């Protein structure tokens, strides 16, 4: 017997403003009181935000290592932000060992932050990421598709709405074909057509689906000239190569040469507050770079950047990655939520639930004018029954790593490894 819960992220910017004050003295007193409260609130939000940002980075690299163990010769691309927020939202309804295992898998250290700080941290991150004033297009959202027969606890609904800005849509899961069509249309719309017909084979006893989506569109601060794009070789290994469209640019970029790890790091900024990091290991150095991927390494790279002129060659590519999150999370120690011992009693008091399936898909398209990327996370739940003297020439013509980061929040939105830019599907 199944119920499905598909998880996504929605960021709504919130502004709080003081209004009407009766007289000058009262205004001054109220202003002082409000300032202290606002300061305390801002400090609390920033502290929670800083803690959750560190945890999210740790999770991103932990998840990458799990995936890379199984995909040595395949492209990797995923959204750690999407997965993190999806499962963090699920923890609102988790209890006992189910909750602690999810916290561990998501690298939430409860000795350093309280459980409420997790959700307050995501709340603040979502507000910042969904700032309508930013130049990049970034939308994240959560939607709960709930069968009318499933009675959700009001606290779960309130917390999902208040912390994660989720909307709730009543759905008739007795008509599976229509429900599937409705949900897939929602995903397609929210990802601007990047992810189509993702959800398949809904169980006949599905009770809830929570969709987690993220869409990013950014234009390079300095676009590549399309007329300079030409065919080039991308080396899969020492003997094999594929033909790709190679973009060329000679300009100033933030660049770092990591001699210890034997790699180049190039930051290509988008208009606004986002940037893409491209990491090019020397031949034979990919594994040592991957093994060193932790937030401290990336921080050292960005702090060591020098703005210098380089010759840059970067392939155009469009790739995607699909992942069985259930299997990966179980390898990371979160097993109970997928078993008959699952305790998701914070979601529904009357119906015992467990996660039956968790899936994730992300796509990215890198071209001369910028980047488009999207991701969706789906979790189904079942009801329980039983510097150089001359400009360096950096050519990304072999396997390389990529991250898309939001600089103000230091959030890793997307992450991947490109081993074959000519292969679109993995």
Residues 329 and 203 both lie in one domain = yes
Angle subtended by helix axes 24-68 and 295-303, to nearest 10:
110
> Does 113 share its domain with 179?
yes
My answer on whether 200 and 306 are in the same domain is no
Q: Are residues 92 and 174 in the same domain?
A: yes
What pTM value is reported for the model?
Answer: 0.86
On whether both 146 and 291 belong to a single domain, the answer is: no
* Mean pLDDT score, 75-82: 96
Band of residue 425 on the pLDDT scale cut at 50, 70, 90: low
What pLDDT is attached to residue 22? 34
Section 212-223 average pLDDT: 95
What average pLDDT does the structure give for the chain? 86
Same domain, 121 and 184: yes
Residue 287 lies in a domain: yes
**Rounded average pLDDT over 341-356:** 89
Q: At 81, is the pLDDT very low, low, confident or very high (cuts 50, 70, 90)?
A: very high
Give a yes or no: residue 36 inside a domain: no
Classify 330 as helix, strand or coil: helix
Q: Name which of 39-43, 199-203, 372-376 the model is least confident about.
A: 39-43
| pLDDT category of residue 7 using cuts at 50, 70 and 90 | very low
Nearest residue to 131 (alpha-carbon basis) of 369, 406, 405, 363? 406
Query: How many distinct structural domains can be found in the chain?
Result: 2
What pLDDT is recorded for position 174?
87
104 and 141 together in one domain = yes
Is the pLDDT at 1 greater than 90? The verdict is no
- In this structure, is residue 102 part of a structural domain? yes
272 and 400 share one domain: yes
CATH of the domain at 76: 3.30.497.10
* Residue 147, pLDDT score: 85
Residue 115, helix vs strand vs coil: helix
| 288: its two tokens | 């040592």
DSSP-assigned letters across all residues of 18-42: -----SHHHHHHHHHHHHHHHHHHH
Give me the domain span that covers residue 336. Answer: 51-217+318-383
| Least confidently predicted of 361-365, 374-378, 391-395 | 391-395
Residue 56 lies in a domain: yes
Q: Is 27 a member of any domain?
A: no
119-146 pLDDT tens trace: 999 999 999 899 888 889 999 999 888 8
- Is 3 a domain residue? no
More confident residue, 147 or 296: 296
pLDDT average, residue stretch 343-372? 92
197 and 334 in a single domain? The answer is yes
- What is the mean predicted confidence (pLDDT) over 395-401? 92
Kindly state whether residues 268 and 307 are assigned to the same domain: yes
Does residue 74 fall inside a structural domain? yes
pLDDT mean over 147-175: 92
Sorting pLDDT into bands at 50, 70 and 90, what band is 28? Answer: very low
Q: What is the CATH number of the domain that holds 412?
A: 2.30.39.10
Task: Tell whether 236 and 310 lie within a shared domain.
Answer: yes
172 contacts 178 by C-beta, under 8 angstroms:
yes
Give how far Cα 50 sits from Cα of 53, 145, 327, Å: 5, 31, 29
Report the Cα 364 to chain-centroid distance in Å: 13
62, 332 Cβ separation under 8 angstroms:
yes
pLDDT of 236 higher than 80: yes
Rounded Cα gap, residues 118 and 250, in angstroms: 43
Predicted confidence at residue 332, as pLDDT, reads 96
Same domain, yes or no: 335 and 375: yes
From its phi and psi, is residue 213 left (phi > 0), alpha (psi between -120 and 50) or beta? beta
| Domain assignment present for 113 | yes
């Amino acid at each position: 017997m199944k119920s499905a819960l598909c998880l996504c992220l929605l960021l709504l910017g919130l502004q709080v403003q003081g209004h009407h004050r009766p007289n000058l003295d009262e205004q001054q007193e109220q202003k002082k009181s409000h300032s202290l409260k606002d300061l305390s609130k801002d400090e609390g939000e920033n502290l929670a935000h800083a803690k959750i940002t560190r945890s999210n980075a740790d999770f991103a690299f932990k998840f990458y290592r799990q995936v890379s163990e199984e995909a040595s010769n395949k492209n990797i691309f995923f959204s750690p932000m999407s997965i993190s927020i999806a499962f963090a939202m699920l923890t609102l309804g988790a209890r006992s060992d189910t909750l602690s295992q999810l916290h561990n898998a998501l690298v939430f250290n409860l000795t350093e932050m309280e459980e409420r700080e997790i959700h307050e941290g995501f709340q603040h991150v979502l507000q910042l990421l969904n700032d309508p004033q930013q130049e990049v297009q970034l939308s994240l959202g959560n939607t709960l598709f709930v069968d009318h027969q499933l009675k959700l606890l009001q606290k779960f609904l309130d917390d999902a709405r208040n912390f994660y800005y989720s909307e709730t849509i009543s759905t008739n899961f007795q008509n599976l074909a229509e429900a599937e069509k409705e949900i897939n249309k929602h995903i397609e719309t929210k990802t601007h057509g990047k992810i189509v017909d993702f959800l398949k084979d809904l169980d006949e006893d599905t009770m809830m689906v929570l969709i987690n989506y993220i869409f990013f569109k950014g234009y390079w601060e300095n676009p590549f000239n399309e007329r300079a794009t030409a065919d080039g070789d991308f080396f899969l290994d020492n003997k094999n190569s594929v033909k790709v469209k190679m973009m060329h640019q000679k300009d100033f970029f933030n660049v770092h040469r990591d001699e210890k790890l034997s790699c180049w790091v190039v930051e290509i900024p988008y208009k606004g507050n986002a940037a893409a990091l491209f990491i090019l290991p020397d031949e034979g150095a990919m594994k040592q770079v991957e093994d060193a991927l932790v937030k401290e390494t990336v921080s050292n790279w960005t702090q060591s950047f020098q703005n210098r002129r380089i010759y840059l060659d970067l392939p155009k590519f469009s790739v995607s990655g699909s992942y069985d999150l259930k299997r990966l999370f179980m390898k990371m120690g979160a097993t109970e939520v997928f078993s008959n011992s699952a305790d998701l009693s914070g979601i529904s008091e009357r119906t015992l639930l467990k996660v039956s399936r968790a899936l994730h898909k992300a796509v990215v398209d890198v071209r001369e004018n910028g980047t488009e990327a999207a991701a969706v996370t789906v979790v189904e739940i079942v009801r329980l029954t039983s510097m150089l003297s001359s400009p360096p020439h950096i050519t990304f013509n072999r396997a390389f790593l990529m991250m898309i980061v939001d600089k103000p929040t230091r959030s890793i939105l997307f992450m991947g490894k490109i081993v074959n830019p000519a292969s679109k599907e993995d």
